Amino acid sequence: MLSWLGRLIHRRRWTSLVLILVMTCGAGAWGLGVFSKFKEGGFEDPDASSTLVAKLGATYFGSTNPDVLVLYSSDSMTVDDPRYQASVITTVARLPRANVQEIISYWSFDGKAAESFVSRDRRSTFVAVKLQGREGAEKTENYHAIKDRLDAPGLTTQTGGSVPIGEEFGQQVVNDIVRAELITALPLFILLVILFGALTASFLPLIVAVFSMIGGLAVLHVVTYATDVTSFALEVVTMMGVGLSIDYSLFIISRFREELARGMAVRGVPPGKPWKKETGKEARKAAKKAYRDELRPLRQAALAATMATAGRTIIVSGVTVSAALAGLLLFPQMFLRTIGLAGIATVMVAVFGATVLLPTLLALLGPRVEFGRMPWRRPTSKRAMRDPDSGFWYRLGQSVMKHPVPYFAIVVVILGVMFVPFLNVQFGSVDARVLPKDSPTRAVVETVKRDFPNGSAEPIDVVISGDLIPRDWTPKGDDPIPPYLEEFRQRLEALPGVSDAQFTGYSGTYGGVRISVTHRYEPMDQRAQDLVTEIRNMHLTKDDYPMHIDVGGSTAAQMDLMDSLMESLPKMAAVVGIATFVLLFMFFGSIVLPLKAIAMNVLSIGASFGAIVWGFQYGHLAGLLDFTPTGGVEATSMILILAVVFGLSMDYEVFLLSRIREEWDLTHDNRAAVARGMQHTGSIITSAALLFLVVIGAFSTAGITVVKLIGVGMFVAVVVDAVLVRSLLVPATMRFMGSANWWLPGFLAGLHARMDLRERSTVLAGAGAGPAVPPRLPDEQPYPYAIHWEKADTPPAAEPAVTPRVPQGGSSAPEPGATPPRAPAPGPSASEPAHAPPGRTRGLDANEAFRPTMQPARGEGSNGGSPQVVFRTAADRAPDDGGRDQPSGRPWNPWADGPPQPARPSGPAKRRVIVPNPDGTGWRWGEAEDD
């Protein structure tokens, strides 16, 4: 039980606040260091052949993708003009050798090889610069050292290449986060004020969100010491951290206000500042102290009950979301692994903020959480006085219960239509087009592809390695080319679609040579992929000894990526599915609900994937979100969306089903449990989804297309999940299944009893919460017996005065023809169990507090009547109960002591009348005197 945590936080609230403030300051200072630790890339499979070729190129052969690509252009001169040549050569010659390893330009080659460095109109050329250093941080530092020296006099200078693009990615990520937070701050606060109806309560989720952002940065910095972290992780982690923090805070605050209001109503403690009604200063001071003393146990009891219910649900939800993100750790790609690690840590920070920081603030505020109450939140408003069983969500639940088939069919058709575009999905890779259209580094890449010969060609790199590669030969020298290598080059050049095949690298240290194969196809064209497959199936031997052939390039890298993802995806599905099933089994005590929840999540994910293909691959959202369609979607981003959306969908599933399970434990009426569960959680889940959508919507305006794609995917999934799945499809399927929703085989009952994580609404002993409230009866009685809630008969005692129910008209007189209620017999308080050990109290479950026992009908006369089922309180159980203590939460059984027996004749019943109490405080039932 988490109620102990709520009581501990209440007792040590000031200590908790100070510790959290110190921890937040330390985390903020530490988290700022994460911005210099990001690495770019991470989309490739580290064990793939194409990745090996890329590493060999960077280490031994020279990368085909330069660190810095400097584009020079002129409106009046061509590259053949001596002034043009002098300007470029003198500029690059001044670059310090401590920062630059190699410079390649148009004037470095003769003949045909040089033509690829000049544009078709001969007014532009580019210089490829290879920087010193092997790590990204070293290259970035060297780039900053030469960046201001690259301007050539008389020419227009633009810079691109892998290092400037990576730096722009990092800057764009930070700009996106700052812009998103500025965009969402005010709308979030306005929505929170509308939802909570109080200014103070509306500030609390924002405080938790800021704490989660700071904690997320600190955790991300820690992760950089364990593995490389991509800059994309910062946006995804921030988006999830803020969204989950606000969602979790919404549930905690709502439950605390509900529990506190219930406790104050039972004890008759008025809200506001009642001590101000006193006239004297000393009287007001004494009344204020007495009021606070009266509130202290109620505040502690409300916080303990909140932690035992909503707090437990949030922890289970956080573990479930983390389990979904843990599936990303099964993939070899750095991009997915780092987001999985950082995402899990961020979810845990959000859970900590919602279950420690927020309860600390609530313990300090107490009823002051209602400060700044809006008109619609006041007790006299129509909203506050509305019947809880007449709300929109209750009526919607009842409607779905009555007509489940139409609702089910309509929702399934809608989800099916949304999924159809995904059947034509085309996966692509990340390139410069994911940057904003006005990006200077993107402009360089697009200019080279558009204006230069072979600018759009992305060659296939073939590396031949082995011990028989000559150690004293270079392709660039005058040495003769070994015949077997020349023969293999000619075989490559003769392949269909190949326009050229040239030796572009050699390493005697490694013992390998690289051949670049230029073709006429687009990189992701199926014909280019077939060409890669054909090259990989080729063989080369020398003196009957086989040589190693590794194939790289963008086309091969994308093929290897897809193979890796398809290999790891079933493992992820199995691990996440089993982990989710076990967690939900522990929480709900059913094997049907976990399976149904997983199926519902798959439907939400399918609809989200269809919307992504429709919006990004087909380009229908390009105008609205301002991005360049590439004709495909990035594959690793889809895997990331799969994990994140699965976790978020399960998050809402846990919130909904936990309350339905709570109602089922009380009533064992499936229809009533679903309707009332939707009434209690429908508005909260919808509000949480709306707040999350505001956060996601802001990130959908990011400058990087991949982040837009992730944001749109999550946005669609949350909308589908909250509007269609949780509101309509889940209750419809639960109506189909009926009581089978809660089916638990006997051989699993004992296992579940030892690992039960269900919410339990408890009556805390000594908290002053008043007597236990009897469970609500099912709407449809499955037995033909009259039921009355009353306390069991006790040894004779003076009958206390009972005030009849006051009609709504305000009169204290009983209603005509009303059935006389039985006066409850005096006995121990429900908050002090009779069987508790001396000096120790325990909480009573709402079901445990009432015990069913068959009793003879009263007032039915001697001719017998229908027996009555009387539910005794645990504190006043009759002696024939034997003092047995049944397990907490066990549903009541009206025939626990055998089938009901007809009442024995007890003689004519005495006539009873209503008489005033002697002290004049009310009315009571008395026996009429014989006339």
In the predicted structure, residue 824 carries a pLDDT above the cut 50: no
The rounded distance, in Å, linking the Cα atoms of 183 and 677 is 34
Residue 875's nearest CA partner among 923, 843, 839, 921 is 843
Q: Which two tokens stand for residue 727?
A: 């509101």
Q: Would you state the pLDDT for residue 84? A: 93
671 in the same domain as 544? no
As a whole number, mean pLDDT of residues 802-813 equals 38
Assigned token pair, 919: 């002290």
Domain span including residue 492: 459-552
Long-range Cβ pairs for the range 661-664 (8 Å, 24+): 661/588, 661/589, 661/742, 661/758, 661/759, 662/309, 662/759, 662/761, 664/742
Q: Looking at the structure, tell me whether residues 477 and 585 fall in a common domain.
A: no
Cα–Cα separations (whole angstroms), residue 683 to 71, 159, 195, 245, 671: 57, 52, 9, 18, 19
Query: Residue 635: what pLDDT?
Result: 86
The answer to whether the CB of 924 falls within 8 A of the CB of 915 is: yes
- Quick one: 222 and 352 in the same domain? yes
**CA contacts within 13 A on the Cβ side of 354:** 34
CA pair distance 48, 685, nearest whole angstrom? 44
Query: Does 755 or 716 have the greater pLDDT score?
Result: 716
Q: Which of 228, 226, 221 lies closest to 32 in space, CA to CA?
A: 221
Instruction: Answer yes or no: is pLDDT of 797 > 70.
Output: no
Q: At 208, which amino acid appears?
A: V
Q: What is the DSSP letter of 720?
A: I
What CATH number is associated with residue 487?
3.30.70
Quickly state the pLDDT bin for 927 (edges 50, 70, 90). low
Residue 326 lies in a domain: yes
d(CA 61, CA 508): 10
Which of 517, 552, 587 is the endpoint of a domain?
552
The residues that bridge with 68 in the sheet, in sequence order, are 129
Residue among 64, 72, 79, 65 nearest 126 (CA): 72
- Tokens found for residue 260: 């506190």
Cβ proximity of 409 and 691 under 8 Å: no
Q: How far is CA 152 from the centre of its chain?
A: 50
Q: Compute the mean pLDDT over every residue in the chain, rounded to the nearest whole number.
A: 77
**Contact present, 435 and 703 (Cβ < 8 Å):** yes
Main-chain dihedrals φ then ψ at residue 304, nearest 5 degrees? -65, -45
**Position 784 in a domain:** no
Model confidence pLDDT, tens digit, residues 17-66: 999 999 999 998 998 888 777 777 677 888 889 888 888 887 777 666 78
Does a structural domain hold residue 445?
no
With residue 787 as reference, give the H or E element that holds it.
Answer: strand 786-789
**What integer pLDDT is reported at residue 628 of this predicted model?**
85
Alpha-carbon gap, residue 25 to 149, rounded angstroms? 40
The DSSP H or E segment spanning 788 is strand 786-789
**522 and 589 inside one domain:** no
Looking at the fold, whether 483 and 541 belong to one and the same domain comes out as yes
**Does residue 124 register a pLDDT over 90?**
yes
Bridge partners of 912? 927
DSSP designation for 43: -
Other C-beta atoms lying within 10 Å of the C-beta of residue 320: 26
b/e 55-93 (16+ beta carbons within 10 angstroms → b): ebbbebbbbbebbbbbbbbbeebebeeeebbebbbebbe
How many domains are contained in the chain? 4
- Confidence label for 853 from pLDDT (cuts 50, 70 and 90): very low
More confidently predicted of 683 and 187? 187
Q: Does some domain include residue 536?
A: yes
For 271-279, what is the mean pLDDT?
78
For residue 53, being part of any structural domain is answered with no
| Structural domain includes residue 368 | yes
Task: Judge whether residue 821 has pLDDT over 80.
Answer: no
Shared-domain flag, residues 221 and 328: yes
What residue ranges in 13-99 does DSSP mark as E strands?
Answer: 38-39, 68-73
Looking at the fold, whether 327 and 239 belong to one and the same domain comes out as yes
Lowest mean pLDDT across 12-16, 207-211, 842-846: 842-846
501: β partners: 517
Res. 87 pLDDT band, cuts 50 70 90:
very high
φ and ψ at residue 299, rounded to 5 degrees: -65, -40
Q: How far apart are CA 204 and CA 209, in angstroms?
A: 9
Last residue of a domain, one of 379, 401, 419: 379
Question: The CATH number of the domain where 72 resides is what?
Answer: 3.30.70.1320
Position 863 pLDDT exceeds 60: no
Based on the domain organization, do 545 and 635 belong to the same domain?
no
Report whether pLDDT(825) > 50. Answer: no
Is 28 in the same domain as 138?
A: no
Residues 6+ apart with CB under 8 A from 718: 648, 689, 692, 693, 696
- pLDDT for the residue 570: 92
- Rounded CA gap, 517 and 536, in Å? 13
C-beta atoms surrounding 467 within 10 Å: 9
Least confident range from 690-704, 753-767, 828-842, 893-907: namely: 828-842
Identity of the amino acid at 356: V
- pLDDT (0 to 100) of residue 929: 57
How confident is the model over 584-597, as a mean pLDDT? Answer: 85
Are 113 and 213 in the same domain? no
Structure tokens at 751: 């296992």
Instruction: Decide if pLDDT at 906 tops 60.
Output: no
Last residue of a domain, one of 379, 413, 439: 379
Q: How far is it, in rounded angstroms, from Cα 795 to Cα 583?
A: 48
Spatial distance between the Cα atoms of 892 and 848, rounded to a whole number of angstroms: 9
Helix, strand, coil % (nearest 5) of the chain?
55, 10, 35
531 found inside a domain: yes
Distance of alpha carbon 105 from alpha carbon 92, whole angstroms: 9
CATH of the domain at 245: 1.20.1640.10
Which runs of consecutive H residues, i.e. helices, occur in 273-326? 281-306, 312-326
Residue 332 pLDDT greater than 60, yes or no: yes
The model's pLDDT over 345-379, given as tens digits with 9 standing for 90+, comes to 889 999 999 999 999 999 998 888 888 887 776 66
pLDDT of residue 54: 86
Residue 790 DSSP class:
-
Give percent of the chain above pLDDT 70.
77
pLDDT score, position 613 = 93
pLDDT at site 414: 94
Give the whole-angstrom CA distance, residue 427 versus residue 633. Answer: 5
Query: Do residues 470 and 513 both lie within one domain?
Result: yes
Residues 329 and 369 in one domain: yes
Residue 831 lies in a domain: no
